[in-house]
């Protein structure tokens, strides 16, 4: 279970990073 939670957190962080990059590109 802990592994799944860690993976979910990592995925969210990665998604946040991509969103930030996309925002900069759009701007």
pTM value > 0.85: no
Domain map of the chain by residue range?
A: 1-27
Give, in order, the Cα–Cα distances in Å from 24 to each of 8, 9, 14: 25, 23, 16
For 17, residues 6+ apart whose C-beta sits below 8 A from its C-beta are: none
Give, in order, the Cα–Cα distances in Å from 7 to each of 1, 3, 24, 27: 10, 6, 26, 30
Supply the pLDDT for residue 10: 85
Which stretches of the chain score pLDDT less than 70? 1-2, 4, 6
Supply the pLDDT for residue 12: 92
Supply the pLDDT for residue 15: 95
């Amino acid at each position: 279970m802990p592994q799944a939670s860690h993976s979910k957190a990592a995925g969210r962080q990665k998604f946040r990073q991509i969103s930030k990059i996309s925002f900069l590109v759009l701007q």
